[in-house]
Each structure stands twice: as structure tokens, then as C-alpha cells.
Structure 1
């Protein structure tokens, strides 16, 4: 599963866009799985970086972006193993929060997601922030879990999104 993603991470944006257009949901699911890897190269340098590139180039249309948000904010990702401390589940939660925050950052500029989706994301990220107990930074042999930093980034994206100001 990792080698095709590693190869894709090395390619230029045109080839990444082509790969996404050919099998969008399959690629998104592979990237979601990569966020859970207790390996800094896989979750950060490959999965997270590819998500960022796809988002920045506008490759993910609004309906698929809404689907991706639903997946990220679910019990399978942002809330996977919530409450556990000291195991590898923190990688999936932490990097899901980071991607969710990045989606909010991009949406703040482009405004493609429906208001209700953004409000749900903001509420989910706030709930996650209050529930996360594993605050480890660097995990020897595995990489950066960074749950506190990634949660802070996601909360900042929530606060800076125009929908948050409208909801006050």
C-alpha cells in the first residue's frame, strides 16, 4: 500500500491530479489509512503532504471534500481510540486533526463547503480537543505524534474560518 503512495509523492502535480481523477475515492482511502501509520515518513511526508497538494490544487470537488471531511471526523479517524494514551492510535487522530484543519484553511479561502458541514467540523474538532489525552510529541522509532500541536493548528483553523465568525 505504501510504495504506490511513496511513488506518487515524488511525482509532479499534473501526475498526482491524473492519479486522483482516475480513482479518487480509492486514493483518498489510501491516504486516510496512511494517516494512521506509526511512521513519520508515511503519515507526514506522504499522506499529509499528498492531501495538502490535492487540496491546494483544487483537485477534490466539493462533494468529495464533504465525503472526506465526514470520514476524517468519524470514529474511524479523528476519534479512533480516543482516550487511549501511549499506543499508536494517536497518530491517526493527530494527523486527522491536522488534515481537517488544513481543509478548513483551504475552505476559508475558497468557500466551497456548505455552512452546516463547516459547523459540524468545528464542533467535532472542539470535541476532539477536549477528549484527546495522549499529548506525546516525538515518539522514538515512530516519529512525531504531535497531538497537541496538530490540535492547536486545527483549532486555529476553526477560529479563523469565516463561518465561525458568522455563527457568533
Structure 2
């Protein structure tokens, strides 16, 4: 699902990928180690910073939905306290 996080297909991006991430993270279907790994993946140039210097580029969808996933992971951390203070 991460591979298609910034898809231009709104049905895929909004209704399938993001909604399912919401469900699996909110309902604790992923382990804390998976969430940590996902956070580390999202915080790189392929997701959160993808095309950050480009103008009029579709990479804004990847950046936007990366921030939404980060928020979900931080919410899970608030409930379970699994991320280090440095993270």
C-alpha cells in the first residue's frame, strides 16, 4: 500500500489505501515494530520529501498522505508509547 500512497487515482489513494491504513493502525493490527519501520520509511525522500522542490508536480499527494500516516502512527504511539523520545 505504501508503494501507491500518492497515487493519482483518488479511489485507490483515498478510499482503499488511506482508509485501510486507518483501520489497521487504529485497530492495532500492526505490531509496534511494523509501525516503527513504516515511520522510518515514510520519513525519507521517497515519501515525506518526495519532489519537495518541484513545482506543479503530483508528488504533493505522496507528501500529503505521508503526513496523514505519520499522524496515525503518532496517535498509536500516544496510546501505546512505543516510540523513543528521539524519534
Give the TM-score normalised by structure 2.
0.90
- Residue pairs, 1:1-168, within 5 angstroms: 31-117=1-87
RMSD of equivalent CA atoms: 1.2
* Uncovered stretches (5+) of structure 2, i.e. residues with no partner: none
Greater RCO (Cα-Cα under 8 Å, separation 6 or more)? 2
Q: Is the 8 A contact 2:6 2:13 kept in 1?
A: yes
Q: How many residues align?
A: 87
Post-superposition shift, 1:66? 0.8
1:97-119 Cα distance to aligned partner (Å, 9 max, x none): 111112112211221222222xx
Larger radius of gyration: 1
TM-score normalised by L of structure 1: 0.49
For the 8 Å contact 2:51–2:57, the answer to whether it is kept is: no
Distance apart, 1:86 and its partner CA = 1.4
1:34 Cα shift?
A: 1.9
State the distance in 2 between where 1:78 and 1:104 align: 15
In the alignment, structure 1 segments of 5+ residues that lack a partner are: 1-30, 118-168
